[in-house]
Amino acid sequence: MRLQVSDLTFSYGDRSLFEGVSFSLEPGQALSIDGPSGSGKSTLCLILAGLIPRLIAGDLRGEVSYDDIPLAQMSLTQIAAAVAMVFQTPDQQLFLSTVEDELAFACENLCLPAEEIGSRIDEILDIFSLEPYRMAHPDTLSGGQRQLVTIASILMMRPHFVILDEALSQLDENHTQRVLNVLERLKQTGTGLIIVDHRETVHALCETHLDLEQYSCRL
């Protein structure tokens, strides 16, 4: 699946953020997004994930498409299969009573068979070394552990593209490296990555770079 962004311009009311953003991303490629505070990094991520303007209002022009299908014309099921987003704060995405429930939730909404969901849970718990916390309430985990659960729950859906909006910022060095290893494996199996993060260790994972300051309407 290929992501194509063409001449994207966005504003909230009278506040213009960026204009003319264009890029493409092929399966297995990673893109880093950079720019100063307020340049629209998170907004761009929300647009790519289909949340703007579907759920969050704003003036959006240009086009985002996955495999030549405009995002605006895709159903929620199609969007869920194409792209998933991890936010900076895990509390925005965790709301169930156990880690296992969190991992199963999205796949249950996609009506996957119970055996397939169980197999995916076992696999992802092993990848992130979260098996001891399978039945733990997310509120009892550390901030870093909760973020690992959030990332794991997104990967349970096996989307074609994963967006991480400063999603590694709460992880210590060991947990960060664990996630980077997982992301490298995802790239090798054809998953595209879009990452907002300022660290060079994260940028090293990415073949391409987008500096939103170049597209700022304030220039």
Per-residue pLDDT of 102-118, as tens digits, reads 999 999 988 999 999 99
Model pLDDT for residues 44-61, shown as the tens digit of each residue: 999 999 999 998 998 999
- For residues 58 and 10, the answer to whether their CB atoms sit within 8 Å is yes
Across 25-46, average pLDDT: 95
In whole angstroms, what is the distance from residue 19 CA to residue 89 CA? 27
**Model's pTM, two decimal places?**
0.92
Own/partner contacts of 130-136, CB < 8 Å, gap of 24 or more, are 130/99, 133/99, 134/98, 134/99, 134/100, 135/98, 135/99, 135/100, 136/98, 136/99
